[in-house]
Every structure is written in structure tokens, then in C-alpha cells.
Homo-oligomer: A and B are copies of this chain.
Amino acid sequence: METKAFSPSWVARALRELQQLVAIPSISTDPQHVGAVRACADWLARHLQGIGLDRVRVFETPRHPVVYAEKRVSPALPTLLIYGHYDVQPVAPAAAWTVPPFGALIRGERLYGRGASDDKGQFFTHIKALEILLKAGQPLPLNVKLLLEGEEETGSPNLGSFIRQHRQLLRADWAVLSDTNMISAAQPSLTYGLRGSFSAELEVHGPQTELHSGIFGGAVLNPLQALCEMLAHLHDRRGRIAIPGFYEAVRPASVAERAYLRRHATTDAQLLREAQVGQGWGEAGYSLYERTTLRPSLSITGLSGGYQGVGTKSVVPPRASAKLSFRLAAGQDPHVVEQQLRQHLTRITPPQVRATLTAQLHARPYALAPTHPAMRAACRAYAAGFGRAPVLQRSGGTIPVVTLFEEELGIPTVLMGFGLPDDRKHGPDEFLHLPNFWRGIRTSLAFMHEVGRSLRCVNHDPKIIYGNPVS
């Protein structure tokens, strides 16, 4: 069936459809693109209808819509919930792109465009696999529900309430989500752990109006200086986060897990090559990969204040701000981290300025044991799709929907990633590695057959989700 499915004309059409999808500038963080996000949802709904899914619907949320579709075959069969997000990151800095960000240009094995890998190209593998199954003329081997979100890049502010409102509709046994990386195009891998996240904006308020830095410089505390000095107090000299109590809840990885990852996961040299930097940095006692997965981190993702134009302006500005993004390791709670940060900021804010912190996103860390039947099924599917068993790995990123599915639907999520470490997600010249797109479709097809063959699961055992994954 699969060989027949991948006919040249089908391949050409699937590629054209993917280009159409990537060409829609569905930037969810930018209010000017709200129409494009809507257009993308509508395009998807038409497409899902076209391939034969049922109950296709574009659900309204307070901001960007959710696209839903399903194929129910029998209550006796297992149900798979496929999640993807059709919104994309902003393009900025636009000048750094060497291709049009929404041109969906194909060059060699790459399809370039914002969102090509994160996440349009990845979730589209499941849609194309479903199309193949639906056209085969036989009943599907499982029940399928599809949930496509338009707010992932804004922290999914409305997804939690959407899932709570539609618990019955979304009821499933397992979820699958393709929004992570493989180790390399030559080595498939399956992600069993994600870091959590806490992000916030820190503002420092000084004088009520802009002051002349010649007239007042030296006698008035400059909020830009105060902000820099406060931010410098968030890490110690050894690269550790200097917030008291921050590491207390981190659950140490087992010796077996660290040994497994040392053998199979990204090496320091690979990570430096992927990042295109000459030297690593961070917490002593851990490999670069461990620093980005087993250990928490804090990134300043934006800095702003004062005069940013060409040339000079002699000002002490009234305010300065920084965007902070924590990635949290197993055991950490984003709300506890927020409180720890607030207390630390209170201690380190100079008396001449006022600091405010606006929380933006909270997400808990996640892990699923490789002994879980869903993970076993996924491993077999990768072997079928890529001709090679996957390596198990952790990712340093955060996918808040995974903890939502766990908390609201009580189901585990398989992180079936087809992205590559150097495919420039969130950066300029993002691309999708096309061979992975075709292998991803085959892997998704195999996974759906595996799910169909699996027993219908009872409610998952939390020990399996949080057990030591590779002991």
C-alpha cells in the first residue's frame, strides 16, 4: 500500500500542498498577522475535509482558532490524538534571511520558510499519512483525532481552557506530537523528556521622564545600569543560576541515564557545530547536552531601553526592560521558580529604582519512560520509517501542551520529532529537511498501524511517565 501511495504524482501534489501551507505567514505573536493565522486555519480545515476526515471544525478561542477533525472507526479500537501547531515564530530579524521567509522555496533537500520545520512540515506528515490510510479503501486500524493549534508560539494561552471545555471530544488513549528534533538525518531519535519553562518580562523604572545624561549623569541611578547589574546577579561566575533555592527541587538523573545519553545523545562537538559557536559555556560538571536537557537554564531573550537609533543621544531613560526565559529540569515547578525569582529581585533591586515582573508562561517539565507501550510502538514505527531503530533522547525545549494532555486528558504524549538540530527553528533561513518529511510520513503510517495493534490502554500509570526512563 505504501509503495503505491508514494507515486510521483502524489509526491508532487503533497509537496505543493506543503508549500501552500508554509507560504501562509501565520505569525501568532504579531497582531498584524491575525488574518494570516485565520487564513491558515481555514486552509487546514478545507484540506482535512478534502482528505476525508469527519467533523472538521474551526473552533474560536479568544485569539487564534483551533482546527479539529477526526475519524472514528469503532469504540473498540484505540484512539490516537494527533497534535500540531500551525502558527509560526516572528521573522525578525528579517534582514538576516537569505530567502523570502514565506517563499516556501525548495533548494536541494530543503524547503525553506518560517515554520517549515516548526511545526508545519512536521505535523503535515501525520495528515499525509492519514490521507494515505483513508484512500486505501479499508477501515482505519484506529480512531484518530486531530487538534491543530494556532497559539503555540505565544505560549498557548487559550489551549488549556479549550481542552477543559472539550474533554469528551478530545478523549483518547495516547497523543502524538511531532515538534522535536532527531539527532541527525542519519540517526532517528525519539524524545522522552522535555524541559519546563517559566518566562517573564522584567522592567526597571527610574526617573519619571528622560533626563539629560550630561546634566544628571553621576547623581541619578540609570535604570539601564540598574537592570544590567540586576541581570548580572542572576548567574554566578561558574555559570550557575544564582537565585537562592533554585536548584533544590531538581531531580538528579540516574547514573544509568547519564551513561546512556553519553553513549547515544549529542556530543559537545556536535552541539557546538549545530550552534555554530566555538566554545561552550555553562554549569561545570555537565556535558553541553546535559546542560540543555537534564539541567535548568536561564536565557535573557531580549533587552531594551534608552536610545537605540543611529548615533548618540544624551539620555538617562525612565525605564529599561528584559525578557527572561527559564528552562526547567525534572522536579522543578514554574510557579515556585517565579516566587524564587521575585524574592531574589526584591533583594537585588537598588532602592533608587522600582522593578516589576510580568509572568508570561508557566510549563512543567515532562518525561515518558521508554518502557511505556506508546514508546515501544513509536520505536518500532521509526525502525519501519527510517530503516533504523531510534536513539532515545531528551530535548531542552518546552512543549506546554504535553503537560496539558497529561493533566486534563490523563494521557501520555509521544514526541515523534522529525526536525533536525541545524534546521534553524526560530532563526533566519529555517528549513524542513525533505527526506525526513517523506520518512516521517512512513513513520506516522507505521505508528498508526502499531497503535491499532496495541491493546486499548487503561489510564496511564504516573510512575511510567515519571519513572527513570533508561534505568
Q: Which residues of A pack against B, CB within 8 Å? A: 29-31, 89-90, 92-93, 96, 154-155, 181, 195, 197, 199, 206-222, 224-225, 227-229, 231-233, 235, 271, 274-283, 288-289, 291-292, 295-317, 320, 322-323, 325, 327, 350-352, 360-361, 395-398, 421, 424-429
Choose from B207, B213, B275, B350 the contact partner of A277 (Cβ within 8 Å).
B207
CA distance A155 to B212 in the complex (A): 15
18 further A-B contacts with Cβ under 8 Å, apart from A212-B397, A281-B350, A306-B323, are: A31-B310, A93-B210, A154-B312, A208-B276, A208-B277, A212-B426, A214-B325, A216-B275, A218-B292, A219-B282, A222-B300, A225-B231, A229-B231, A300-B306, A301-B312, A302-B313, A312-B360, A314-B325
Contact of B325 with A217 in the complex, beta carbons under 8 Å: yes
Contact of A277 with B352 in the complex, beta carbons under 8 Å: yes
Contact of B282 with A155 in the complex, beta carbons under 8 Å: no
Contacts of A425 in B (CB 8 A): 212, 215
Contact of A302 with B292 in the complex, beta carbons under 8 Å: no
Contact of B361 with A209 in the complex, beta carbons under 8 Å: no
Q: Taking the full assembly, how many copies of this chain does it contain?
A: 2
CA distance A306 to B31 in the complex (A): 19
Return 15 A-B CB contacts under 8 Å, by A number: A30-B309, A30-B310, A92-B307, A92-B309, A96-B209, A210-B426, A210-B427, A212-B427, A216-B396, A217-B299, A219-B291, A221-B282, A303-B303, A303-B308, A312-B361
Determine how close the nearest CB of chain B comes to the CB of A262; give it in whole angstroms.
Answer: 15
CA distance A316 to B309 in the complex (A): 22
Contact of A217 with B292 in the complex, beta carbons under 8 Å: yes
Contact of A197 with B219 in the complex, beta carbons under 8 Å: no
Contact of B275 with A303 in the complex, beta carbons under 8 Å: no
Please give me the residue from chain B that is nearest to A318 by CB atom.
B96
Contact of B325 with A213 in the complex, beta carbons under 8 Å: yes
Give 10 nearest A-B pairs by CB, closest first.
Answer: A218-B297, A214-B397, A232-B232, A302-B306, A221-B281, A210-B427, A213-B299, A219-B288, A217-B297, A224-B300
Contact of A313 with B29 in the complex, beta carbons under 8 Å: yes
Contact of B327 with A155 in the complex, beta carbons under 8 Å: no
CA distance A296 to B311 in the complex (A): 22
Contact of B154 with A271 in the complex, beta carbons under 8 Å: no
Please give me the residue from chain B that is nearest to A224 by CB atom.
B300
Contact of A309 with B421 in the complex, beta carbons under 8 Å: no
- The CB with the most chain B CB atoms within 10 A, among A181, A208, A219, A295, is that of A219
